[in-house]
Amino acid sequence: MFRKSHKRKHFSISSEEELCQLRSLPKEAFFYTQRRQYGLGKHVSQGIFSDYLAEQIPCLLQEREYKLGSINKIFAAKWLSDKQVVFGTKCNQLIVLDTASGRMTHIPKLKSSEESIPAKCPCGIHSIAINPSSTLLATGANHTNDIAVYKLPTFDPVCVGELGHKDWVFDLVWIDDEFVLSGSRDNNLALWKIDNCDDDRSSHVNNLFIPEYTVKHPVTVQYCQKAEKVRALAFHKERKELAALSLNGYFHLWDIGSFTQMPSKNLPDITESVCMCVNQKKALYAVGCHSSVLLVDPRSDCSITPISKHPGRGIRSVSFNEDILTIGTGYGMVLFYDLRACKYIQHNCGHACYLSVGSGWLKPEEDDRFFLSNPGFPNAVYTHAYDSSGTRLFAAGGPLSSVSWGNYAGLWY
Residue 242, classed as helix, strand or coil, is: strand
In the three-class reduction of DSSP (H, G, I as helix; E, B as strand; rest coil), residue 56 is classed as helix
**Separation of alpha carbons 189 and 206, rounded Å:** 42
What are the residues whose beta carbons fall under 8 Å from the beta carbon of 286, sequence distance 6 or more? 276, 277, 278, 279, 293, 294, 295, 296, 318, 320, 325
pLDDT at 141 over 70: yes
Backbone angles phi, psi at 229, to 5 degrees: 75, 95
Residues 6 or more apart whose Cβ sits within 8 Å of residue 15: 9
What's the pLDDT tens digit per position in 95-125?
A: 999 999 999 999 999 999 999 999 988 789 9
Give mean pLDDT, residues 163-188. 97
Percent of the chain with pLDDT over 90: 64
Cis peptide leading into residue 153 (ω within 30°): yes
Q: Which of 242, 84, 248 is nearest to 172 (CA)?
A: 242
| Helix/strand/coil for 321 | strand
Report whether pLDDT(39) > 70: no
pLDDT of residue 272: 83
Q: How far is CA 38 from CA 31, 43, 347, in A?
A: 11, 11, 24
Task: Write the pLDDT tens digit of every residue in 261-283.
Answer: 999 999 987 788 999 999 999 99
Q: Among candidates 397, 296, 386, 405, which has minimal Cα distance to 57?
A: 386
Helix, strand, or coil here: 34? helix
Secondary structure class of 144 (helix, strand, coil): coil
CA 243 to chain centre: 16
Rounded to 5°, the CA angle 178-143-401 comes to: 110
pLDDT of residue 11: 32
Q: In the chain, where are the structural domains located?
A: 2-412
pLDDT at 376: 53
Superfamily the domain 2-412 falls into: YVTN repeat-like/Quinoprotein amine dehydrogenase (2.130.10.10)
Q: What is the mean pLDDT of residues 137-142?
A: 97
Q: Is 16 strand, coil or helix?
A: helix
Which residues make beta-bridge pairs with 98?
84
Q: How far apart are the first and last CA of the chain?
A: 17
| Out of 2-11, 178-187, 323-332, 339-348, least confident range | 2-11
Within 10 Å of residue 45's Cβ, how many Cβ atoms?
9
